C-alpha cells in the first residue's frame, strides 16, 4: 500500500500540471494591445481636428463615418496668376504630386517646402510663390460641402530658392 502511494506521488510529480492562468507577460501584452485599440481612435480624432489628417486612414476606425475630404492645391505667382504646371520640369511636377499625396494623408503635418523649392528652381522668373491648399468637407451643420483655404507664401532669397 505504502509502495502504491509512493508510486502515485511520483507520477503526479512527473506529469506537468497545467497552470490555472496565462503567464503575466502574456496578460500584460493582451492588455496593452487592447488599451491601444481603446485609446488610439480618440487620439486619431484629435489629430484629425488639429492637423486635419485623413479621417479614413491611420487605423482610427473612422471609415464611412464622414466625408473622405477632397483636396485641391493651386500654385500661384505673386500677381495671383496661376503657375502652369506644364511649364515645370518633371522633377518639379513630381515634387508637387508628392506634396498633394502627402497632404491628403498627413494634413497640416505635411508642408510644401520641397515642392515650392522645386517650383522656384524651375521658374527663375518668379520671386514670390503662393501654394494654396483648399480642403473640402461635409459640414454637419448644413449638410453642404464646405471648404477653407490655407496659403503658404515663399519668397526667393538672394542665394536662390525659398
Partner 1 sequence: MSGGPLAWAGGPEPLGAETRVRSFRRFLLLYAAARSWLWVAFSLHDRELLVLAAALASAGFALCWRRDLEAWAAPLGLLGVGLQTVWRFPHGANHLYLELLALALVALAGRGARPDAALVLSGLRWLAALVLFHTGLQKLLYGNYFHGDFLAYMVGTQERFANAFGWVLPATEIARLEGYDAMRTGAGPYRVAFAPFVLASNGVWLAELGLPVLLIARRTRVWGALGGIALMASIQVAALELGFAFLFLNLLFLSLPGDWNRRLLPAFALVFLYALGAAAGWLPGRPERWQLM
Residues in contact with partner 1 by CB under 8 A are 18-23, 26-27, 29-31, 33-34, 37-38, 41, 45, 54-67, 70, 72, 105-106, 136, 138, 140, 142-147
Q: Judged by CB, which is closer to partner 1: 36, or 155?
A: 36
> Residues, the chain, total?
162
- Give which of 120, 115, 85, 73 is closest to 98, Cα–Cα: 115
Shortest distance, position 35 Cβ to partner 1, whole Å: 10
SS3 147: strand
Q: Judged by CB, which is closer to partner 1: 13, or 24?
A: 24
* Residue 133: count of CB within 10 angstroms of its CB: 22
Shortest distance, position 146 Cβ to partner 1, whole Å: 7
Shortest distance, position 67 Cβ to partner 1, whole Å: 6
Q: Judged by CB, which is closer to partner 1: 65, or 87?
A: 65
Shortest distance, position 44 Cβ to partner 1, whole Å: 8
**CA 1, chain centre distance (Å):** 73
Q: Judged by CB, which is closer to partner 1: 64, or 79?
A: 64
Q: Judged by CB, which is closer to partner 1: 16, or 158?
A: 16
C-alpha cell belonging to residue 149: 483655404
Query: Residue 122: which residues within 8 A CB-CB, separation 6 or more?
Result: 87, 88, 89, 91, 92
- Going through 4-58 in order, the beta strands assigned E by DSSP cover none
Shortest distance, position 74 Cβ to partner 1, whole Å: 14
* Residue 108: count of CB within 10 angstroms of its CB: 14
Amino acid at each position: 500500500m505504502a509502495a502504491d502511494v509512493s508510486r502515485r506521488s511520483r507520477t503526479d510529480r512527473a506529469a506537468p500540471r497545467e497552470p490555472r492562468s496565462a503567464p503575466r507577460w502574456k496578460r500584460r501584452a493582451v492588455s496593452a494591445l487592447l488599451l491601444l485599440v481603446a485609446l488610439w481612435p480618440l487620439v486619431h480624432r484629435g489629430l484629425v481636428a488639429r492637423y486635419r489628417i485623413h479621417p479614413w486612414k491611420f487605423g482610427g476606425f473612422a471609415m464611412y463615418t464622414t466625408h473622405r475630404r477632397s483636396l485641391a492645391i493651386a500654385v500661384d505667382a505673386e500677381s495671383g496668376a496661376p503657375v502652369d504646371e506644364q511649364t515645370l520640369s518633371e522633377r518639379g511636377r513630381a515634387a508637387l504630386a508628392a506634396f498633394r499625396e502627402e497632404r491628403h494623408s498627413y494634413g497640416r503635418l505635411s508642408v510644401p517646402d520641397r515642392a515650392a523649392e522645386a517650383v522656384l528652381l524651375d521658374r527663375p522668373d518668379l520671386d514670390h510663390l503662393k501654394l494654396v491648399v483648399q480642403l473640402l468637407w461635409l459640414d454637419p451643420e448644413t449638410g453642404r460641402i464646405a471648404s477653407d483655404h490655407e496659403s503658404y507664401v515663399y519668397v526667393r532669397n538672394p542665394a536662390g530658392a525659398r
